[in-house]
Structure 1
Amino acid sequence: MTIGVTLSSTSYPRTVDDTVRLAREAHDAGLRSGWFGQSFSYDSPLLAAIVGREVPGLQVGTSAIPVFGRHPLLVSSQAQTAQAATGGRYHLGLALGTKRLTEDGFGIPYERPIARLREFLTALRQLVETGAADFHGELLTATTPLPAAVPGATPPVPLLVAAMGPQALRVTGELADGALPFHAGPRALAEHIVPALTAAAEAAGRPAPRVVALIPGVVTADADAVREKAAEALAPYEGIPSYQRIIELSGAERAADLAVIGDEEAVAAEVRRYREAGATEVVFTDTDLGGEADRQRTWKLLGELAAGA
């Protein structure tokens, strides 16, 4: 199991220089990967490319780019550029996105998301594996009258999907390299996500999929205060149907109930639970909810766990 942290998110914007500084700190702490959220501000593959080039040895990834409002040709160019810039250490995460952000932001209907994900992944895999595409779907067309390969962008960019529902997991298992579940506790992972994802991959003749579990977590001496902050910060997810479902399947009532908050022993025990539930990798998010001292304490523990993984 590898262990990483998010270095940018939609909730906590940072300058590029601050992000590079934090990435160096994460690497020095022994963490294996740094991940970047996608909003309407920084372009996450470009940010990952900059950070990965500045901090050799750190895996970098996007979690995650919505497939609405994008095109496989453009996303392939972004991903392959990041892969070439980092010497093969970039991981591309995709997402279905949400109805509100899609329709309010792009002015396009949020329709047939699973079909769009399937077509997007089909075309994108052709592009990252061969540098060419000839795909004509119902919703997307992607062809390459000019070469789409980027020199030095090898190996092929790993494709991950923030999938948690049955249909999205089926498509992900068939066409992607793994999933990026968020707010999915060990119970939901073990009973719903991992079995569905693995079965779809096996049926498609694909290798065992990666399961990169994103977990809000903080090592702290004041768990009650941090959990109160987590409840406020994570509440918006409770209004999104896909997250409502996965929180319920995890045996929780609120998103904050799934946050890993406590001392070193308690947090390490929860990381072990995720590993036992089938997570191949763990990425901690929202580690600064408790302030700078708690963030450093959290990263120290995660680095130690990564070293012993």
Structure 2
Amino acid sequence: MRIGLLVDEMGPSLDTVVDQARAAATAGFSGVWLGQRTGRDALTALAVTGRQAPGIELGTTAVPTYPRHPLTLAAQALTVQEAVGNRLTLGLGVSHRHIVEGQYGYSFDRPARHLREYLSALVPLLRGESVSYQGETLKAVGAVDIPATAPPSVLVAALGPAMLRVAGELADGTITLWATPAGLTDHVVPTITRAAGRGEPRVVASTFVCVTSDEDDRRAWVAEHFGMAGQIPSYRTMLDRSHAAGPQDTVIVGDETGVERQIRQLFDAGATDLIAMLLGPEDEQARTTELLTDLAG
């Protein structure tokens, strides 16, 4: 199983992020992933941490597209790719209306159109090609010249059918959040696979994982801290497709046997990778890490 670990990029210091990434590599996780929220820049942090976490995938989940022009993001991503020895996976997404319009001041009109135009410019740039692209909302003319750097894999945080079709056609796969096995097998996997029309796109499922005897308490914590996600349209639709009342119904919690069974159900539903977000006190996180690394094998 390909099991990666989400490292908290909002930690108390960048040194803490580096230490956690190094520990994940040592433990045997397949990859380290950083989110992009209101703190450190995920790509910059990966450039710093990558050399201290050798031999594993380094990913973002997910860099928002709107505030970064494709030429700018291509230059940044390829610089990170050079710094970490071609181990970067660039996870990106359109974010949400309340962020794009409320914080950035951009229009969130037809985000799937924006994503298609963005990837149409970005992906060739990551391959080192010169582009002259003019879409309805985006223009990109030029190239990024960083010799001897392989193009990073590109994944899209896509949940709805339009976004999944774009991800399947123009990217290497998707990163999901708040998706259960039912949501993957009934919606995500068939939609992106049909759109890809080639091979098997990556379906990277990210979720909280906790080996615990206090399952109700852990679900209650997720409901308290992430319950508002259920009011965001793209997440609400994914939760409905996953037959989940809220994010708390999508997490993987229980004893070792139960957690292993739930993880296997995700992979049986079509997930190619799991990004585990650790939950609970230190002793439970240690038990969870031991089980996850055993499964990653």
Matches within 5 A, 1:77-226: 77-144=75-142, 147-154=143-150, 156-202=151-197, 206-226=198-218
- TM superposition score normalised by structure 2: 0.96
> Which of 270, 288, 291 is the aligned partner of 2:281?
291
The residue identity in structure 2 corresponding to 1:271 is I
Looking at structure 2, the residues matched to 279 and 44 of structure 1 have their Cα atoms a distance apart, in angstroms, of: 24
Tell me the SS of whatever aligns to 1:34.
strand
Tell me the SS of whatever aligns to 2:127.
helix
Matched with 2:29 is 31
Q: Is the 1:87–1:152 contact (alpha carbons within 8 Å) kept by the matching residues of 2?
A: no
Runs of 4+ with deviation above 4 angstroms: none
The residue identity in structure 2 corresponding to 1:150 is I
Per the TM alignment, residue 78 of structure 1 is displaced from its structure 2 partner at its CA by 1.3
Per the TM alignment, residue 151 of structure 1 is displaced from its structure 2 partner at its CA by 2.7
Q: Is the 2:169–2:195 contact (alpha carbons within 8 Å) kept by the matching residues of 1?
A: yes
Per the TM alignment, residue 13 of structure 1 is displaced from its structure 2 partner at its CA by 3.6
Q: Is the 1:128–1:149 contact (alpha carbons within 8 Å) kept by the matching residues of 2?
A: no
Tell me the SS of whatever aligns to 1:139.
coil
**Unaligned 5+ runs, structure 1:** none
The residue identity in structure 2 corresponding to 1:185 is T
Q: Is the 2:11–2:17 contact (alpha carbons within 8 Å) kept by the matching residues of 1?
A: no
RMSD, matched Cα: 1.3
Looking at structure 2, the residues matched to 293 and 59 of structure 1 have their Cα atoms a distance apart, in angstroms, of: 26
Matched with 1:266 is 258
Q: Is the 2:185–2:269 contact (alpha carbons within 8 Å) kept by the matching residues of 1?
A: yes
**Unaligned 5+ runs, structure 2:** none
Looking at structure 1, the residues matched to 174 and 39 of structure 2 have their Cα atoms a distance apart, in angstroms, of: 24
Q: Is the 1:31–1:299 contact (alpha carbons within 8 Å) kept by the matching residues of 2?
A: no
How many residues align structurally? Answer: 297
Looking at structure 2, the residues matched to 273 and 169 of structure 1 have their Cα atoms a distance apart, in angstroms, of: 21
Q: Is the 1:186–1:273 contact (alpha carbons within 8 Å) kept by the matching residues of 2?
A: yes
Looking at structure 2, the residues matched to 133 and 291 of structure 1 have their Cα atoms a distance apart, in angstroms, of: 49
Looking at structure 1, the residues matched to 145 and 138 of structure 2 have their Cα atoms a distance apart, in angstroms, of: 20
- TM superposition score normalised by structure 1: 0.93
CA distances 1:52-72 after superposition (whole Å, capped 9, x unpaired): 111111211000012222210
Matched with 2:72 is 74
Tell me the SS of whatever aligns to 1:180.
strand
CA distances 1:147-201 after superposition (whole Å, capped 9, x unpaired): 41223422x1101001110100111100000000111110010011000100000
Tell me the SS of whatever aligns to 1:164.
coil
Tell me the SS of whatever aligns to 2:89.
strand
Q: Is the 1:31–1:303 contact (alpha carbons within 8 Å) kept by the matching residues of 2?
A: yes
Per the TM alignment, residue 230 of structure 1 is displaced from its structure 2 partner at its CA by 1.4
Looking at structure 1, the residues matched to 276 and 76 of structure 2 have their Cα atoms a distance apart, in angstroms, of: 25
